[in-house]
Structure formats: C-alpha cells, structure tokens
C-alpha cells in the first residue's frame, strides 16, 4: 500500500509502505474511505515539533473493516466505521468515566494518511454505522472522528448551556466545529474570533452571531464590550498558543468556563490571575469516543454538516500539496481520498 511519510520539515512524501497487519487479537485493519490533513500535522511540518526519523503521518480516518483480530466482535468486515485518534478499550475505569482519550490502554493513531490502517483497541474504538452511508456524508463523518469531536468537547468542557454566551477563539477547523457545537448546545450568542473572511462566513453559517477580528488585549476588550463589560459564560480555546489561552481566560466572566482543546505550545497559566478570575479551566485530548454515536447521528440526520470545513479535496497521492496549501493558508483543511 501507499501512505504519507514525513522526512523533515516541509518534506512529505507519498511512499510505498508495508501493508498493516493484525498484531494483537484486539486489532482491526480498515481500508481508508477518506482521510485528511489536520492543523496539528502542521506543527512537525513547520519544524515546530521535532520529526526525528522519517515516520508515517495522519490520525483521522473513516473506512471499511477489512479484517479483525480474534477478540474483536463488535465490528465485522465490510462495515463502515468511524473511530478516534486516541484508541480506547471503552471498558477501563477512565473509559467508563467518559474519558476514553485517557484510556489505560490508549494508543494514539499515527499512520492514517494511507490506503490501509491498523486500529488498536478496535472493539472499543470503532463505531459502525447501520449501513454504508452515502459518500456525501463521508467528509462530515471524518470530522466527527477528530475536529468535530474536539469542537464538541471544547463546548462541553466550557459548559455551554442553553441561552448562554460563548466565545470561540480560533477559526481553524476545530474552532469552526466549536461554533457548531455551541449552537447545538443552545448558546444564544456565539462570538467567533476570526480574521479570515472565508472562515468568518462559514462561522456565521454554522451559527456565529458576532465576529471579532481583534486579537490579544484588543480582542479581550472587544469581548468585554459585547458582554456588558463582564465577559462570556463559556470560552472555547481552539488554538493552543500562549496568546490564545490568555485571550480565552480573560474573555470569560467570573464563574465562567474555558474549554481548551488546542494542543498547548509554550502556554503558561498565571496562578494568581487564574485564582482571582474565578474562571474554570478544563481541556485535553477530546474524549471523542464518548460523543461518536450521538455525533454520527447528528450527521446522518442532516442536523449538522461539519464536512464544510474541508475547503480543499485532493487524491491521497497529492498529500504533499495538501500540507503545502494548509501551511500557506490557502486551505483550512484538506480532504484526501485514496
């Protein structure tokens, strides 16, 4: 089979690789239906995370079950499945507490921009749809496995409630999915912080009621202005930089909550400031598995269409161009079809 391999910053190659095999009785092999490039794949691509030895890339997938290990009974060959980048047995204490992304047997996916993928913990990780969904749903189901699940978690962690005001920091795919989640959870006012016209448009289509283009302290001042000088009930931090985190914490009202889902890079939180702010803070890798059945249902009933975050569609062998387009901000998110 073939798949994407990173050799160095800026150097993604589509190469012939060994076909994945069942290594443990709890594994499954899937044939990729669609996969994509994630904003977080840009960290190593831009040299902001070390690459080390050349290694395969990609952690988002939906596909068809090809083969299952002897202990996998929940899915069968031929079924269409959605999973998560953090695999989970769905039975341990952390899983039962709803934090499957902290499963005691967790393995992170890392080679999904490929024709075939091995899924560890397949029994607990994969959710099969009742029948093979129409192809038009595949991009949205793919987002459910990662960015939409993460946006949902951001809204959940920020405790978005009906009638509340939510701020979304970040207009990448996760931020845009955060807008969808805030809307579905009943937020009355959704303020999206975005400087890009096309993303502002999509945020508005997804349910944003206000757009704030300012950043940093100016952005915080604008949020205060829009919320009676108090701040927002919920803030979804979907970037992971120091500036975004500070903006999020200072945009929340006393007693409000920040859900942070951007993988932090050089983020430090001032203990004194957090203490006196009365702001609740929760984040981490999204427990996507907890939300999968519900979000799959949201997509297949047409309630949400997060597939719209893909603004570039390429064939899998053009994966290098997908990275380049996202790095140069010509695309928000690249869909890849084998």
The residues binding Zn ion (CB under 5 A) are: 88-89, 92, 95, 103
Q: Contact, 240 vs 264, CB < 8 A?
A: yes
Q: How far apart are CA 231 and CA 222, in angstroms?
A: 10
In whole angstroms, the minimum distance from the beta carbon of 298 to Zn ion comes to 24
Task: Give whichever of 120 and 256 is closer to Zn ion, judged by the CB atom.
Answer: 120
Task: Give whichever of 15 and 107 is closer to Zn ion, judged by the CB atom.
Answer: 107
In whole angstroms, the minimum distance from the beta carbon of 69 to Zn ion comes to 17
Helix (H, G, I), strand (E, B) or coil at 36: strand
Task: Give whichever of 39 and 120 is closer to Zn ion, judged by the CB atom.
Answer: 120
**Nearby residues of 282 by Cβ (< 8 Å), 6 or more positions away:** 157, 158, 257, 258, 259, 260
Q: Contact, 37 vs 323, CB < 8 A?
A: yes
DSSP 8-class letter at 86? B
**Nearby residues of 108 by Cβ (< 8 Å), 6 or more positions away:** 59, 85, 86, 87
In whole angstroms, the minimum distance from the beta carbon of 191 to Zn ion comes to 36
Q: Contact, 183 vs 162, CB < 8 A?
A: no
In whole angstroms, the minimum distance from the beta carbon of 322 to Zn ion comes to 32
Task: Give whichever of 103 and 223 is closer to Zn ion, judged by the CB atom.
Answer: 103
Task: Give whichever of 89 and 156 is closer to Zn ion, judged by the CB atom.
Answer: 89
Tokens representing 304? 């949400």
DSSP 8-class letter at 42? H
- Can you name the residues that pair with 4 across neighbouring β-strands? 14
Q: Contact, 183 vs 251, CB < 8 A?
A: no
In whole angstroms, the minimum distance from the beta carbon of 153 to Zn ion comes to 17
In whole angstroms, the minimum distance from the beta carbon of 123 to Zn ion comes to 11
CA 72 to chain CA mean position, Å = 26
In whole angstroms, the minimum distance from the beta carbon of 88 to Zn ion comes to 5
Task: Give whichever of 100 and 246 is closer to Zn ion, judged by the CB atom.
Answer: 100
In whole angstroms, the minimum distance from the beta carbon of 105 to Zn ion comes to 6
Task: Give whichever of 96 and 330 is closer to Zn ion, judged by the CB atom.
Answer: 96
Backbone angles phi, psi at 64, to 5 degrees: -110, 130
Q: Contact, 255 vs 121, CB < 8 A?
A: no
C-alpha distances in angstroms, 184 versus 124, 163, 212? 26, 11, 21
Q: How far apart are CA 265 and CA 262, in angstroms?
A: 9
Task: Give whichever of 68 and 84 is closer to Zn ion, judged by the CB atom.
Answer: 84
Helix (H, G, I), strand (E, B) or coil at 275: helix
Q: What share of the chain is helix, strand, coil (3-state, %, to 5)?
A: 35, 25, 40
Task: Give whichever of 97 and 315 is closer to Zn ion, judged by the CB atom.
Answer: 97
In whole angstroms, the minimum distance from the beta carbon of 127 to Zn ion comes to 15
């Amino acid at each position: 089979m073939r798949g994407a391999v990173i050799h160095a910053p800026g150097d993604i190659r589509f190469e012939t690789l060994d076909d994945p095999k069942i290594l443990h009785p709890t594994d499954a092999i899937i044939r990729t239906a669609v996969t994509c490039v994630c904003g977080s794949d840009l960290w190593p691509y831009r040299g902001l995370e070390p690459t080390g030895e050349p290694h395969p890339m990609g952690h988002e997938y939906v596909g068809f079950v090809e083969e299952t290990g002897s202990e996998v009974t929940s899915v069968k060959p031929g079924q269409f499945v959605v999973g998560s980048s953090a695999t989970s047995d769905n039975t341990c204490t952390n899983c039962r507490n709803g934090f499957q992304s902290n499963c005691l047997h967790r393995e992170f996916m890392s080679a999904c921009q490929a024709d075939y993928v091995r899924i560890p913990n397949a029994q607990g990780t994969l959710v099969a749809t009742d029948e093979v969904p129409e192809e038009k749903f595949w991009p949205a189901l793919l987002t459910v496995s990662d960015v939409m699940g993460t946006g949902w978690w951001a809204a959940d962690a920020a405790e978005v409630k009906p009638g509340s005001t939510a701020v979304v920091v970040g207009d990448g795919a996760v931020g845009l999915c955060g807008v969808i989640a805030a809307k579905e959870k009943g937020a009355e006012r959704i303020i999206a912080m975005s400087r890009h016209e096309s993303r502002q448009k999509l945020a508005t289509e997804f349910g944003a009621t206000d757009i704030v283009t300012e950043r940093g302290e100016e952005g915080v001042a604008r949020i205060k202005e829009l919320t009676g000088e108090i701040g927002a009930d919920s803030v979804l931090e979907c970037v992971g930089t120091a500036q975004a985190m500070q903006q999020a914490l200072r945009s929340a009202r006393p007693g409000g909550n920040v859900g942070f889902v951007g993988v932090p890079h050089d983020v430090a939180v001032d203990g004194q400031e957090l203490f006196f702010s009365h702001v609740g803070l929760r984040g981490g890798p999204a427990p996507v598995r907890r939300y999968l059945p519900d979000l799959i249902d949201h997509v297949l009933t047409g309630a949400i269409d997060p597939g719209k975050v893909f603004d570039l569609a390429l064939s899998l062998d053009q994966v290098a161009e997908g990275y380049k387009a996202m790095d140069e901000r010509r695309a928000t998110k690249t869909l890849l079809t084998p």
